[in-house]
Chain A
């Protein structure tokens, strides 16, 4: 039964390649997070606005992002949009899919955070002669981002884990894609994916610990 011999050396020899993949994974995650935050703020504004069509767009986006699998969203970005004759590279499709997902979840977090900020804050800003845009930009938004800092950290971890789905649309530069290709070459499935798992674990730990340190620094008061 237990006649399987682990070949860790063979797998570890590929570590540099996998670390290169990890860099791509981080790139996708960070980009999708930055774009996601920007879009989520936009969606939050849409939801706050009085305009019905804008509200409808934002609500549809958020509900689809939250109620369908991330893998489905990435498929949609790659194969779905392709049926309109627009072909994205796997990298772009993955980025679009994850950004769409991030924006939806973050918009929901932001909405919760907005509820915790009293209306009087906006009114005070307006009384001081700020325009509505200024009072949102300088009074409400910083508080909103501060309250939703922890959910944003979680979403960042999710974004990193979601990059592994890129392989389904042919992405082969990220950590999972690289591991998959190496697996096809060497057939050391267990060893290679175990190492990839460890790398993912370390990355997410660095992110959560880093976020905690930043939070301590930022939110001293």
Chain B
């Protein structure tokens, strides 16, 4: 197992794949979070009935496999609209919406966790809706939502392994290319897994720590 044909160049190739994984994740989580906060606030403000269409659309992103979402988006953009866009763009687009669907749910949960009486108290003190949101809801909701959000970001990082279907060579795809060439699946997969683990594990632990630290009991 230690007698390997893996060269320094191959390692650089893997590192590039890892870079793509991180870039795709960072872009998607950034855009997805902004959209998710927007959708989450809209859902809470409008109430269950008025926001039903939005809920339905976001629900689709959570109930259809990501692989199918990617293939569909790629087919739609490429074959139906006949636009020349890169797979990278499609990957970021789909993953952003995918993230926003989950993020909206987290944001909604966070806002719902703020007691209605607290918010009414804020409004009674003469705060505007914006002030209430900014000074009362935001700090309290963050306590509830941030640990789940870290989990979501890590989930998107792991799910970004699927963007290979739109011809984006991220970490797992790079590994697969090397496996085809070097024929050392176990060794290469262990390197690949170790990489995911190294990124994910400390952040997951940090999320768990925050959750424990910030819980009310």
Contact = CB atoms under 8 A, between A and B. Distances in A.
Interface of A: 1-4, 63-64, 66-72, 75-76, 79-80, 82-84, 157, 161-165, 167, 176, 189-190, 193-194, 196-197, 200-201, 204-205
B189 A4 contact: no
B205 to A, nearest CB: 9
Interface stretch (B5-13, B33-41, B67-75, B129-137): B67-75
Contacts of B79: 4, 189-190
A156 to B, nearest CB: 12
A80 B201 contact: no
Contact of A69 (B65, B172, B176, B201): B172
Given A4-B80, A64-B193, A69 B159 contact: yes
Interface stretch (B108-116, B139-147, B178-186): B178-186
A76 B179 CA distance: 12
Interface string B33-76: 00000000000000000000000000010011111110110011
Instruction: Give 3 closest A-B pairs by Cβ, nearest first.
Output: A164-B65, A67-B200, A69-B161
A193 B60 CA distance: 14
A136 B132 CA distance: 47
Nearest to B157: A69
Interface SS of A by simple majority? helix
A66 B68 contact: no
A80 B189 contact: yes
B162 interface: yes
B158 A201 contact: no
Contact of B80 (A82, A190, A200, A201): A190
Interface residues of B, number: 36
Given A67-B197, A76-B189, A197 B68 contact: yes
A144 to B, nearest CB: 19
A208 to B, nearest CB: 8
Contacts of B179: 79
Interface string B186-197: 100110110011
B185 A190 contact: no
18 contacts: A4-B82, A66-B204, A67-B201, A69-B161, A71-B161, A75-B189, A84-B186, A161-B66, A164-B65, A176-B65, A176-B68, A190-B72, A190-B80, A193-B71, A197-B72, A200-B64, A200-B65, A201-B64
A190 B154 CA distance: 29
Given A2-B81, A4-B82, 6 more contacts: A69-B158, A69-B159, A84-B186, A165-B67, A197-B72, A200-B65
A205 B184 contact: no
A92 B113 CA distance: 43
Name which of A67, A83, A161, A190 has the most chain B CB atoms within 10 A of its CB: A67
Contacts of B176: 75
Contact of B189 (A72, A84, A194, A204): A72
* Residue with the highest number of chain B CB atoms closer than 10 Å, among A64, A82, A190: A190
A82 B197 CA distance: 22
Given A82-B185, A197-B72, A164 B161 contact: no
A80 B68 contact: no
Contacts of A3: 82
Contacts of A71: 161-162, 172
- The listed residue with most A CB atoms (<10 A of its CB), out of B64, B72, B201, is B64
Contacts of A84: 186
A2 B63 CA distance: 29
Contacts of A2: 80-81
B72 A201 contact: no
B68 A68 contact: no
B81 A1 contact: yes
Contacts of B64: 161, 197, 200-201
Contacts of B154: 67
Nearest to B63: A204
B124 to A, nearest CB: 35
